[in-house]
Protein backbone atom coordinates (compact mmCIF):
# COMPACT_ATOMS: atom_id res chain seq x y z
CA UNK A 1 0.00 0.00 0.00
CA UNK A 2 1.18 3.56 -0.66
CA UNK A 3 1.49 5.06 2.82
CA UNK A 4 2.20 8.52 4.13
CA UNK A 5 3.14 10.01 7.51
CA UNK A 6 2.69 13.60 8.71
CA UNK A 7 5.78 15.79 9.02
CA UNK A 8 7.30 16.59 12.40
CA UNK A 9 10.82 17.91 11.84
CA UNK A 10 13.18 15.33 10.36
CA UNK A 11 11.62 12.22 11.88
CA UNK A 12 10.12 11.36 8.49
CA UNK A 13 13.57 9.88 7.70
CA UNK A 14 13.14 7.17 10.36
CA UNK A 15 9.44 6.55 9.57
CA UNK A 16 10.20 6.21 5.88
CA UNK A 17 12.93 3.63 6.59
CA UNK A 18 10.61 1.62 8.86
CA UNK A 19 7.71 1.50 6.39
CA UNK A 20 9.94 0.77 3.37
CA UNK A 21 11.64 -2.08 5.23
CA UNK A 22 8.15 -3.54 5.85
CA UNK A 23 7.47 -3.48 2.11
CA UNK A 24 5.40 -0.31 1.69
CA UNK A 25 5.82 2.44 -0.84
CA UNK A 26 6.13 5.73 1.07
CA UNK A 27 4.66 8.94 -0.35
CA UNK A 28 5.95 11.78 1.80
CA UNK A 29 4.00 15.03 1.89
CA UNK A 30 5.94 18.00 0.48
CA UNK A 31 7.90 19.95 3.12
CA UNK A 32 5.51 22.04 5.27
CA UNK A 33 4.77 25.35 3.61
CA UNK A 34 2.27 28.20 3.65
CA UNK A 35 0.16 26.13 1.26
CA UNK A 36 0.12 23.20 3.75
CA UNK A 37 -0.90 25.56 6.54
CA UNK A 38 -3.63 27.26 4.56
CA UNK A 39 -5.10 23.88 3.46
CA UNK A 40 -5.04 22.65 7.08
CA UNK A 41 -6.51 25.88 8.46
CA UNK A 42 -9.28 25.88 5.87
CA UNK A 43 -10.56 22.40 6.72
CA UNK A 44 -9.80 22.09 10.48
CA UNK A 45 -11.86 23.40 13.42
CA UNK A 46 -10.79 26.99 14.05
CA UNK A 47 -9.72 26.54 17.67
CA UNK A 48 -7.84 23.25 17.29
CA UNK A 49 -4.09 23.43 17.93
CA UNK A 50 -1.62 24.16 15.14
CA UNK A 51 -0.10 20.64 14.83
CA UNK A 52 -3.46 19.20 13.79
CA UNK A 53 -4.00 21.89 11.17
CA UNK A 54 -0.59 21.18 9.63
CA UNK A 55 -1.22 17.41 9.77
CA UNK A 56 -4.44 17.90 7.79
CA UNK A 57 -2.55 19.99 5.21
CA UNK A 58 0.13 17.26 5.00
CA UNK A 59 -2.47 14.54 4.41
CA UNK A 60 -4.28 16.43 1.67
CA UNK A 61 -1.00 17.15 -0.13
CA UNK A 62 0.17 13.52 0.21
CA UNK A 63 -3.17 12.14 -1.02
CA UNK A 64 -2.92 14.42 -4.06
CA UNK A 65 0.45 12.74 -4.73
CA UNK A 66 -1.11 9.26 -4.56
CA UNK A 67 -1.05 8.15 -0.89
CA UNK A 68 -3.67 5.50 -0.08
CA UNK A 69 -3.12 5.18 3.69
CA UNK A 70 -1.95 7.34 6.59
CA UNK A 71 0.09 6.12 9.55
CA UNK A 72 -0.19 8.27 12.66
CA UNK A 73 0.41 8.15 16.39
CA UNK A 74 -2.56 8.30 18.78
CA UNK A 75 -2.57 9.75 22.27
CA UNK A 76 -4.43 9.94 25.54
CA UNK A 77 -4.77 12.10 28.62
CA UNK A 78 -5.39 15.84 28.95
CA UNK A 79 -4.17 16.70 25.44
CA UNK A 80 -6.02 16.93 22.12
CA UNK A 81 -3.72 14.45 20.37
CA UNK A 82 -6.08 11.72 21.65
CA UNK A 83 -8.84 12.78 19.27
CA UNK A 84 -6.78 14.00 16.30
CA UNK A 85 -7.34 10.71 14.44
CA UNK A 86 -11.14 10.73 14.80
CA UNK A 87 -11.48 14.38 13.77
CA UNK A 88 -9.03 14.03 10.87
CA UNK A 89 -10.88 10.95 9.62
CA UNK A 90 -14.15 12.93 9.48
CA UNK A 91 -12.47 15.88 7.74
CA UNK A 92 -10.99 13.65 5.02
CA UNK A 93 -14.33 11.81 4.63
CA UNK A 94 -16.19 15.11 4.16
CA UNK A 95 -13.66 16.07 1.49
CA UNK A 96 -14.31 12.78 -0.31
CA UNK A 97 -10.73 11.61 0.24
CA UNK A 98 -10.97 7.87 0.68
CA UNK A 99 -7.88 6.70 2.59
CA UNK A 100 -7.14 4.19 5.32
CA UNK A 101 -6.01 5.54 8.68
CA UNK A 102 -3.64 3.33 10.66
CA UNK A 103 -3.49 4.79 14.17
CA UNK A 104 -0.83 3.49 16.56
CA UNK A 105 -2.44 4.16 19.93
CA UNK A 106 -0.25 4.16 23.06
CA UNK A 107 0.09 0.73 24.74
CA UNK A 108 -1.79 1.93 27.83
CA UNK A 109 -4.92 2.30 25.65
CA UNK A 110 -4.95 -1.47 25.07
CA UNK A 111 -2.32 -3.78 23.65
CA UNK A 112 -4.68 -5.64 21.30
CA UNK A 113 -5.45 -2.63 19.12
CA UNK A 114 -1.75 -1.69 18.88
CA UNK A 115 -0.78 -5.29 18.04
CA UNK A 116 -3.45 -5.52 15.29
CA UNK A 117 -2.28 -2.31 13.65
CA UNK A 118 1.37 -3.37 13.78
CA UNK A 119 0.58 -6.79 12.28
CA UNK A 120 -1.38 -5.07 9.54
CA UNK A 121 1.64 -2.92 8.71
CA UNK A 122 4.00 -5.92 8.79
CA UNK A 123 1.76 -8.02 6.52
CA UNK A 124 3.61 -7.56 3.19
CA UNK A 125 6.97 -8.96 4.35
CA UNK A 126 6.21 -10.65 7.66
CA UNK A 127 7.04 -9.91 11.28
CA UNK A 128 10.84 -10.20 10.69
CA UNK A 129 10.64 -7.04 8.55
CA UNK A 130 9.20 -5.17 11.53
CA UNK A 131 12.26 -5.95 13.62
CA UNK A 132 14.69 -5.00 10.81
CA UNK A 133 12.71 -1.84 10.12
CA UNK A 134 12.64 -0.80 13.75
CA UNK A 135 16.41 -1.25 14.12
CA UNK A 136 17.16 0.77 10.98
CA UNK A 137 14.62 3.47 11.94
CA UNK A 138 16.04 3.75 15.47
CA UNK A 139 19.60 4.10 14.14
CA UNK A 140 18.49 6.70 11.59
CA UNK A 141 16.69 8.75 14.24
CA UNK A 142 19.81 8.55 16.45
CA UNK A 143 21.92 9.82 13.54
CA UNK A 144 19.45 12.63 12.76
CA UNK A 145 19.42 13.88 16.36
CA UNK A 146 23.20 13.61 16.66
CA UNK A 147 23.65 15.81 13.58
CA UNK A 148 20.95 18.28 14.66
CA UNK A 149 22.64 18.64 18.06
CA UNK A 150 26.02 19.12 16.36
CA UNK A 151 24.44 21.90 14.27
CA UNK A 152 23.08 23.60 17.42
CA UNK A 153 26.60 23.56 18.88
CA UNK A 154 28.25 24.92 15.72
CA UNK A 155 25.79 27.69 14.66
CA UNK A 156 26.90 30.32 17.22
CA UNK A 157 30.53 29.53 16.31
CA UNK A 158 30.24 29.04 12.54
CA UNK A 159 33.00 30.42 10.30
CA UNK A 160 30.53 31.53 7.63
CA UNK A 161 27.04 32.70 8.55
CA UNK A 162 24.34 30.22 7.49
CA UNK A 163 26.66 27.45 6.31
CA UNK A 164 25.77 25.01 9.13
CA UNK A 165 22.11 24.74 8.16
CA UNK A 166 23.02 24.17 4.51
CA UNK A 167 25.53 21.42 5.37
CA UNK A 168 23.05 19.87 7.82
CA UNK A 169 20.46 19.50 5.05
CA UNK A 170 23.01 17.76 2.81
CA UNK A 171 24.06 15.49 5.71
CA UNK A 172 20.46 14.52 6.44
CA UNK A 173 19.94 13.66 2.76
CA UNK A 174 22.90 11.24 3.01
CA UNK A 175 21.46 9.68 6.18
CA UNK A 176 18.17 9.19 4.35
CA UNK A 177 19.92 7.32 1.52
CA UNK A 178 21.75 4.84 3.83
CA UNK A 179 20.19 1.38 3.62
CA UNK A 180 22.20 -0.64 6.16
CA UNK A 181 23.16 -0.01 9.75
CA UNK A 182 26.89 -0.36 8.99
CA UNK A 183 26.82 2.23 6.19
CA UNK A 184 24.59 4.49 8.27
CA UNK A 185 27.05 4.55 11.17
CA UNK A 186 29.95 5.34 8.84
CA UNK A 187 28.03 8.15 7.11
CA UNK A 188 26.92 9.53 10.47
CA UNK A 189 30.54 9.74 11.75
CA UNK A 190 31.68 11.47 8.54
CA UNK A 191 28.79 13.94 8.53
CA UNK A 192 29.21 14.79 12.21
CA UNK A 193 32.90 15.57 11.59
CA UNK A 194 31.94 17.68 8.53
CA UNK A 195 29.51 19.77 10.63
CA UNK A 196 31.88 20.19 13.62
CA UNK A 197 34.59 21.33 11.22
CA UNK A 198 32.49 24.42 10.39
CA UNK A 199 33.11 25.89 13.86
CA UNK A 200 35.60 28.56 14.83
CA UNK A 201 37.68 27.63 17.86
CA UNK A 202 37.35 30.79 19.90
CA UNK A 203 37.81 30.76 23.71
CA UNK A 204 34.67 32.96 24.05
CA UNK A 205 31.74 30.78 25.10
CA UNK A 206 28.34 31.58 23.52
CA UNK A 207 25.19 32.03 25.61
CA UNK A 208 23.52 28.74 26.52
CA UNK A 209 19.73 28.51 26.20
CA UNK A 210 17.43 25.52 26.82
CA UNK A 211 14.53 24.97 24.43
CA UNK A 212 11.44 23.52 26.11
CA UNK A 213 7.72 23.20 25.39
CA UNK A 214 5.39 21.35 23.06
CA UNK A 215 7.15 18.64 21.05
CA UNK A 216 5.68 19.40 17.61
CA UNK A 217 6.53 23.10 17.69
CA UNK A 218 10.04 22.36 18.95
CA UNK A 219 10.80 19.82 16.22
CA UNK A 220 9.00 21.27 13.19
CA UNK A 221 11.04 24.21 11.99
CA UNK A 222 8.18 25.48 9.79
CA UNK A 223 5.97 26.05 12.85
CA UNK A 224 8.75 27.55 14.99
CA UNK A 225 10.01 29.75 12.13
CA UNK A 226 13.49 28.18 12.24
CA UNK A 227 13.90 29.04 15.90
CA UNK A 228 17.17 27.12 16.46
CA UNK A 229 18.73 28.73 13.41
CA UNK A 230 17.60 32.23 14.41
CA UNK A 231 18.99 31.82 17.93
CA UNK A 232 22.20 30.28 16.62
CA UNK A 233 22.76 33.27 14.33
CA UNK A 234 22.26 35.56 17.33
CA UNK A 235 25.16 33.78 19.04
CA UNK A 236 23.19 31.32 21.18
CA UNK A 237 23.93 27.63 21.69
CA UNK A 238 20.57 25.87 21.94
CA UNK A 239 19.96 22.66 23.89
CA UNK A 240 16.76 20.89 22.90
CA UNK A 241 15.09 19.31 25.90
CA UNK A 242 12.60 17.28 23.86
CA UNK A 243 13.35 14.67 21.22
CA UNK A 244 11.72 11.79 19.34
CA UNK A 245 14.15 9.27 20.86
CA UNK A 246 13.24 10.41 24.37
CA UNK A 247 9.55 10.26 23.51
CA UNK A 248 9.87 6.69 22.20
CA UNK A 249 11.93 5.65 25.23
CA UNK A 250 9.48 7.17 27.74
CA UNK A 251 6.16 6.41 26.05
CA UNK A 252 6.89 3.03 24.46
CA UNK A 253 9.82 1.22 26.12
CA UNK A 254 9.19 2.63 29.61
CA UNK A 255 5.40 2.78 29.23
CA UNK A 256 4.84 0.06 31.93
CA UNK A 257 6.82 2.29 34.32
CA UNK A 258 4.89 5.49 33.47
CA UNK A 259 3.77 6.10 37.06
CA UNK A 260 7.38 5.79 38.29
CA UNK A 261 8.57 8.24 35.60
CA UNK A 262 5.84 10.73 36.49
CA UNK A 263 6.73 10.50 40.20
CA UNK A 264 10.39 11.16 39.34
CA UNK A 265 9.44 14.19 37.21
CA UNK A 266 7.12 15.56 39.90
CA UNK A 267 10.04 15.29 42.36
CA UNK A 268 12.27 17.21 39.93
CA UNK A 269 9.75 20.06 39.82
CA UNK A 270 10.54 20.81 43.50
CA UNK A 271 6.84 21.18 44.39
CA UNK A 272 5.95 23.60 41.57
CA UNK A 273 3.74 20.99 39.86
CA UNK A 274 2.41 17.88 41.53
CA UNK A 275 0.78 15.85 38.76
CA UNK A 276 0.97 14.92 35.10
CA UNK A 277 -0.75 17.56 32.95
CA UNK A 278 -0.48 15.84 29.54
CA UNK A 279 1.90 16.48 26.62
CA UNK A 280 5.29 17.68 27.88
CA UNK A 281 3.93 20.14 30.48
CA UNK A 282 5.54 18.37 33.42
CA UNK A 283 8.82 17.90 31.55
CA UNK A 284 8.88 21.63 30.71
CA UNK A 285 8.86 22.57 34.39
CA UNK A 286 11.32 19.82 35.45
CA UNK A 287 13.77 20.72 32.63
CA UNK A 288 13.67 24.44 33.45
CA UNK A 289 14.64 23.76 37.06
CA UNK A 290 17.46 21.43 36.00
CA UNK A 291 18.80 23.90 33.43
CA UNK A 292 18.63 26.79 35.91
CA UNK A 293 20.70 24.72 38.34
CA UNK A 294 23.13 23.88 35.51
CA UNK A 295 23.84 27.61 34.98
CA UNK A 296 22.07 28.05 31.67
CA UNK A 297 21.67 31.71 30.68
CA UNK A 298 17.98 31.44 29.76
CA UNK A 299 15.07 29.33 28.57
CA UNK A 300 12.85 29.57 25.52
CA UNK A 301 9.41 28.03 26.00
CA UNK A 302 7.40 27.46 22.83
CA UNK A 303 3.86 26.18 22.32
CA UNK A 304 0.98 26.39 19.87
CA UNK A 305 -1.90 28.74 20.73
CA UNK A 306 -4.47 26.90 22.95
CA UNK A 307 -2.09 24.03 23.87
CA UNK A 308 -3.54 22.88 27.20
CA UNK A 309 -0.54 21.12 28.84
CA UNK A 310 1.85 23.96 28.05
CA UNK A 311 -0.58 26.65 29.25
CA UNK A 312 -0.47 24.94 32.66
CA UNK A 313 3.33 24.72 32.49
CA UNK A 314 3.58 28.40 31.50
CA UNK A 315 1.59 29.54 34.53
CA UNK A 316 4.04 27.68 36.79
CA UNK A 317 7.16 28.71 34.88
CA UNK A 318 6.55 32.40 35.58
CA UNK A 319 7.13 31.67 39.28
CA UNK A 320 10.08 29.35 38.58
CA UNK A 321 11.68 32.13 36.54
CA UNK A 322 11.32 34.66 39.36
CA UNK A 323 12.45 32.27 42.12
CA UNK A 324 15.49 30.84 40.30
CA UNK A 325 16.31 34.07 38.49
CA UNK A 326 16.41 32.49 35.09
CA UNK A 327 14.94 34.55 32.22
CA UNK A 328 12.27 32.72 30.18
CA UNK A 329 10.97 33.80 26.79
CA UNK A 330 7.44 32.53 26.13
CA UNK A 331 6.59 32.06 22.45
CA UNK A 332 3.08 31.14 21.30
CA UNK A 333 2.68 30.29 17.64
CA UNK A 334 -0.31 29.90 15.34
CA UNK A 335 -1.17 30.54 11.70
CA UNK A 336 -1.06 34.31 12.32
CA UNK A 337 2.48 34.48 13.77
CA UNK A 338 4.45 37.18 11.98
CA UNK A 339 8.17 36.90 11.30
CA UNK A 340 9.18 40.48 12.09
CA UNK A 341 7.69 40.61 15.60
CA UNK A 342 9.03 37.12 16.34
CA UNK A 343 12.59 38.11 15.37
CA UNK A 344 12.38 41.33 17.40
CA UNK A 345 11.37 39.39 20.52
CA UNK A 346 14.27 36.96 20.05
CA UNK A 347 16.77 39.79 19.60
CA UNK A 348 15.46 41.60 22.70
CA UNK A 349 15.71 38.39 24.73
CA UNK A 350 19.29 37.68 23.62
CA UNK A 351 20.18 41.30 24.38
CA UNK A 352 18.83 40.87 27.91
CA UNK A 353 20.84 37.65 28.41
CA UNK A 354 24.04 39.33 27.20
CA UNK A 355 23.57 42.25 29.60
CA UNK A 356 22.84 39.87 32.47
CA UNK A 357 25.98 37.88 31.67
CA UNK A 358 28.14 41.04 31.56
CA UNK A 359 26.75 42.19 34.94
CA UNK A 360 27.50 38.78 36.41
CA UNK A 361 31.08 38.80 35.07
CA UNK A 362 31.57 42.33 36.39
CA UNK A 363 30.32 41.34 39.87
CA UNK A 364 32.60 38.30 39.83
CA UNK A 365 35.65 40.41 38.89
CA UNK A 366 34.77 42.98 41.57
CA UNK A 367 34.52 40.35 44.30
CA UNK A 368 37.80 38.68 43.18
CA UNK A 369 39.96 41.83 42.90
CA UNK A 370 38.02 44.06 45.31
CA UNK A 371 37.77 46.91 42.79
Cα–Cα dist 185/174, whole Å: 11
By CB under 6 A, residue 106 contacts ligand SF4: no
Q: What does DSSP say about strands 328-333 and 298-304: parallel, antiparallel, or unpaired? A: parallel
CB of 216 or CB of 296, closer to ligand SF4: 216
CB of 81 or CB of 300, closer to ligand SF4: 81
Q: What is the CA radius of gyration of the chain?
A: 21
CB of 57 or CB of 309, closer to ligand SF4: 309
By CB under 6 A, residue 63 contacts ligand SF4: no
Binds ligand SF4 by CB under 6 A, chosen from 7, 24, 53, 80 = 80
- # binding residues, ligand SF4 (CB under 6 A): 12
Give the rounded distance of the alpha carbon of 105 from its chain centre. 19
By CB under 6 A, residue 308 contacts ligand SF4: yes
Handedness of CA 361, 228, 134, 262 (dihedral sign): positive
How near is the Cβ of 328 to ligand SF4 at its closest, in Å? Answer: 18
Contacts of 122 (CB under 8 A, 6+ apart): 22, 129, 130
Binds ligand SF4 by CB under 6 A, chosen from 214, 220, 229, 241 = 214
Cα–Cα dist 178/139, whole Å: 11
Cα–Cα dist 218/364, whole Å: 35
CB of 75 or CB of 133, closer to ligand SF4: 75
- Mark 268-307 with x for binding to ligand SF4 (rule: CB under 6 A) and - for no binding: -----------x------------------------x--x
Among 98, 18, 87, 89, smallest CA distance to 63 is for 98
By CB under 6 A, residue 311 contacts ligand SF4: no
Binds ligand SF4 by CB under 6 A, chosen from 8, 49, 198, 231 = 49
By CB under 6 A, residue 309 contacts ligand SF4: yes
Binds ligand SF4 by CB under 6 A, chosen from 9, 29, 40, 51 = 51
Cα–Cα dist 215/218, whole Å: 5
Cα–Cα dist 230/267, whole Å: 34
By CB under 6 A, residue 216 contacts ligand SF4: yes
By CB under 6 A, residue 79 contacts ligand SF4: yes
* CA 29 vs CA 58, 63, 161, 168: distances in Å: 5, 8, 30, 21
Burial of 146 (0-12, 13-18, 19+ CB in 10 A): middle
How near is the Cβ of 75 to ligand SF4 at its closest, in Å? Answer: 7
By CB under 6 A, residue 74 contacts ligand SF4: no
How near is the Cβ of 331 to ligand SF4 at its closest, in Å? Answer: 13
Binding site for ligand SF4 (CB under 6 A): 49, 51, 79-81, 214, 216, 279, 304, 307-309
Amino acid sequence: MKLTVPHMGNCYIAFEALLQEMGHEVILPPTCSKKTLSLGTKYSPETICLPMKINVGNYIEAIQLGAEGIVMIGGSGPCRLGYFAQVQKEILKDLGLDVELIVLEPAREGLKNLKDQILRLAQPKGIGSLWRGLRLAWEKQKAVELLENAACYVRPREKQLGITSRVLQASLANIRQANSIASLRRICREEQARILDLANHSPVQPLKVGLIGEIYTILESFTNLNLEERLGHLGVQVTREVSVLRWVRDHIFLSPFASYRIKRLVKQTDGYLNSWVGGHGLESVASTIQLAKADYNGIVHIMPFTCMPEIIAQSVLTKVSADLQIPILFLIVDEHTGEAGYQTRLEAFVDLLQRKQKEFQHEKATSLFGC
